[in-house]
């Protein structure tokens, strides 16, 4: 297996991408002193990304269905689709050989003064991890100045479900934990889940709960109320399908901030609860823009169905800067 590696850089961002999992391998931005440093978890060698014990989907493009599907099954057009489970009885991130565990094809790369772009493609056959339909997927990473735009596309020859996201692991200090980071999520509602991460009820208001990140909140304070951490999906405010502000995280220590905009209906906050060697527990957070977990079994949460002749498209923008938090989040 030949894993391709591509670099995009400008005066504001240094980015490395690899074809395995169509992943972000490394990401560097300057801190408040102007010194470039890492803001994303990475492994020492490209080969290590193939080891699932070392690689918890680091910066990977996960699918065919990101997040969890209960019982590894769902109904589709009158038929029950049986999937390959990989987290107990459930399926997580598309199964044991989901998109984040596959080597994508490098389709194109372009360097520009502003940064450039890289596109990876993947063909998923009918029955892959149990999913119906031959699916063609594609992701384009486009760097322009201080912003990385990630766009996913997919098309199918038979009805199926699709939910793709980037599983970035962010630490704006480059080391230690995220307890000193501050987080804001533009969401009035959160989806309650059981211990397995499966939806356990209808959307609930975040007001007067530990899930209220509508105002900038220090994560260390949030952990005091919830020591186990977070692995929850928030319903973003605004109109799904339109690019809008979703979340922002900043670190007083490094002065760095990251702002996220997306056209997706929700964002999954994962606080690195399961991170282990070579990393540190709670050593990064993930903000995965996506559809809700187990949507194929919960029509009230929307539809993840993609049919022949339709195009799946998802856009997320990550913007990076230093200090000036208030003006950046307006």
Task: Give the active site residues.
Answer: 167, 288
Burial class (CB in 10 A: 0-12, 13-18, 19+), 141: buried
Cα 112 to Cα 124, 229, 248, 316, distances in angstroms = 31, 40, 27, 20
**φ, ψ for residue 103 (rounded to 5)?**
-90, 115
Residue 234 belongs to what H/E stretch?
Answer: strand 231-236
DSSP 42-85: --SSGGGGG-TTT-S-TTEEE-SB-SEEGGGEEEETTEEEEPPP
**φ, ψ of residue 136 in degrees (nearest 5):** -110, 120
Both tokens assigned to 317: 């923008």
Could you tell me which of 273, 293, 291 has the C-alpha nearest to residue 283? 273
* Euclidean distance between CA atoms 37 and 147, whole angstroms: 17
Yes or no: say if 58 and 42 are a contact pair by the CB < 8 Å rule: yes
With contact defined as beta carbons under 8 Å apart, do 16 and 5 qualify? yes
Q: How many CA atoms lie within 13 A of 241 on its CB side?
A: 5
User: Residue 327 belongs to what H/E stretch?
Assistant: helix 325-328
Closest CA to 72 of 184, 183, 161, 180: 161
């Amino acid at each position: 297996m030949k894993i391709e590696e591509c670099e995009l850089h400008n005066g504001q961002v240094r980015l490395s991408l690899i074809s395995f999992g169509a992943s972000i391998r490394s990401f560097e931005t300057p801190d408040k002193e102007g010194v470039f440093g890492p803001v994303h978890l990475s492994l020492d060698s490209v080969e290590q990304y193939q080891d699932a014990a070392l690689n918890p989907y680091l910066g990977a493009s996960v699918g065919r269905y990101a997040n969890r599907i209960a019982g590894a099954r769902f109904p589709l057009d009158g038929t029950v689709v049986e999937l390959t489970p990989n987290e107990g009885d459930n399926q997580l991130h598309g199964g044991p050989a989901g998109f984040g565990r596959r080597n994508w094809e490098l389709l194109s790369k372009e360097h520009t003064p502003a940064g450039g772009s890289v596109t990876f493609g993947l063909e998923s056959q009918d029955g892959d991890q149990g999913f119906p339909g031959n699916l063609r997927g594609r992701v384009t990473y486009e760097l322009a100045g201080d912003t990385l735009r990630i766009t996913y596309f997919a098309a199918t020859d038979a009805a199926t479900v699709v939910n793709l996201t980037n599983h970035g692991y962010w630490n704006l200090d480059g080391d230690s934990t995220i307890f000193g980071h501050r987080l804001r999520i533009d969401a009035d509602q959160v989806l309650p889940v059981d211990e397995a991460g499966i939806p356990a009820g209808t959307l609930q208001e975040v007001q007067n709960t530990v899930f209220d990140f509508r105002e900038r909140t220090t994560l260390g304070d949030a952990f005091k109320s919830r020591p186990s951490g977070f692995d929850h999906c928030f319903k973003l405010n605004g109109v799904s399908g339109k690019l809008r502000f979703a979340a922002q995280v900043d670190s007083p220590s490094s002065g760095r901030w990251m702002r996220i905009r997306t056209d997706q209906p929700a964002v999954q906050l994962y606080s690195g609860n399961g991170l282990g060697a070579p990393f540190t527990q709670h050593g990064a957070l993930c903000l995965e823009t996506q559809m809700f977990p187990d949507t194929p079994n919960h029509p009230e949460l929307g539809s993840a169905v993609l049919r022949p002749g339709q195009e799946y498209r998802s856009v997320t923008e990550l913007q990076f800067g230093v200090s000036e938090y208030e003006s950046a989040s307006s």
